[in-house]
Amino acid sequence: MRISRRDLLQRIGAGAAVAAAAPSFLEAAADGVSGPLRLNRNGNPYGPAGGVIRAMEEAARTLAGHFPDEEAQALRRKIAEVHRVEPDRVVLGCGSTEILRMAVHAFGGPGKKILIARPTFDAIGRCAERAGSEVVAVPLTHEHSHDVNGMIARADAAVGLVYICNPNNPTGTLTPRRDLDAFIRQLPRTAFILIDEAYHHYVGGSADYASFIDRPVDDARVIVTRTFSSIHGLAGLRIGYAITARETAEPLAAHRMPEDVNVIAAVAARAALADTAYVAMSASRNADTRQEFFNQANARMVRAIDSQTNFVMLNTERSARTIIDHFAKNDVLVAGSIPSFDKYIRVSLGTPAAMREFWRIWDLMPGGHKMSM
């Protein structure tokens, strides 16, 4: 039976609640591990929800021959509905990384500075350099939060964009909301602020954290980005979005690639937004896996930075390159090397079976604290 695109989108919205309890397509493989084991990219190890997969399958059958205009607009409306904003305040991107690029081109460029932390998500720095911006990087504090005082000291009239990843990648740590509010008020009025909330859903009940979408500030310079790559399990589809004031959304969106969001990604993202039960389940699973990771690290007398995300920075107490090579030889990928943290690796949290394999490989290292699991 043939259905219209409008009918398909309505079915996706109506069926999302029923699909919430359905297993993801990786669920059947969760008890086993096959290589290479990718613990280096911060995705959801269980993949997307079952209802999202069904939406993608239907979209592939019925929409793959169409341009994504209608589905992209439907996604913008859904995002606006979820966050209680007008659709013209929503900017879509081919992953939130594209929105970072758009922001750099809109508010940076030759003669402009981009102010960031070190270390942080490095895509922003690469985008800025290619655009001809000067990158000003301020080291994190000893508590691994953004050094807002140090950043203010470097924030002159040439700063066009400030990038804050909170929780921060790669450290997984928070900068208190009260510090960020004060920071924004002190910035030059010509500086725009991009708050990257890629790992928002993994944060527990910390009093130091509040989303700038859920608790907005009355400042048109603030741009908040979210991604479908992490908790929604759609990293391969490259879909993300920003919410900002409409007067900021317009120059930001002017730097989009034409039709950058593909039709299947738009349909999948809309279904994923509706499946709040799967998001909650994924966050709960991650919290359990994260705690067990800390338990295993402590048992081996290995120090880790306290994380509010789906990855952990681990102090290997030796050259990170040696550790990375050891894991790679055993078909496990971890992230590093990290600026200013040359003895640390970043480990993305996988399924329980994947984490057992991680620690098995760790215990194979000469001089490691071996444990039975």
Per-residue confidence in pLDDT tens, the chain, 373 aa: 334 444 444 444 444 443 344 444 344 344 455 669 999 999 999 999 999 999 999 999 999 999 999 999 999 999 999 999 999 999 999 999 999 999 999 999 999 999 999 999 999 999 999 999 999 999 999 999 999 999 999 999 999 999 999 999 999 999 999 999 999 999 999 999 999 999 999 998 899 999 999 999 999 999 999 999 999 999 999 999 999 999 999 999 999 988 889 999 999 999 999 999 999 999 999 999 999 999 999 999 999 999 999 999 999 999 999 999 999 999 999 999 899 999 999 999 999 999 999 999 999 998 655 555 5
Q: What's the pLDDT at 337?
A: 87
For 69-274, which CATH class?
alpha beta
Cα distance between residue 232 and residue 321, in whole Å: 31
User: Would you state the pLDDT for residue 259?
Assistant: 84
User: ω before 337 within 30° of 0 (cis)?
Assistant: yes
CB burial readout 229-264, b (16+ within 10 A) else e: bbbbbbbebbbbbbbbbeebbeebbebbeeebbbbb
Residue type, 144: H
Helix (H) or strand (E) holding 222: strand 222-227
Helix, strand or coil, per DSSP, at residue 129: helix
Q: Lay out the sheet containing 303-304: strands in order across.
A: 303-304, 311-315, 344-348
| Per-residue pLDDT, 33 | 59
CATH number of 23-48+276-373: 3.90.1150.10
Compute φ and ψ for 166, nearest 5 degrees: -140, 110
Round the CA-based radius of gyration of the chain to a whole number and report it.
Answer: 21
C-alpha distance from residue 354 to each of 29, 113, 285 (Å): 11, 41, 13
- Integer distance in angstroms from the first to the last C-alpha of the chain? 53
pLDDT at residue 371, rounded to an integer: 58
- Per-domain residue ranges for the chain? 23-48+276-373, 69-274
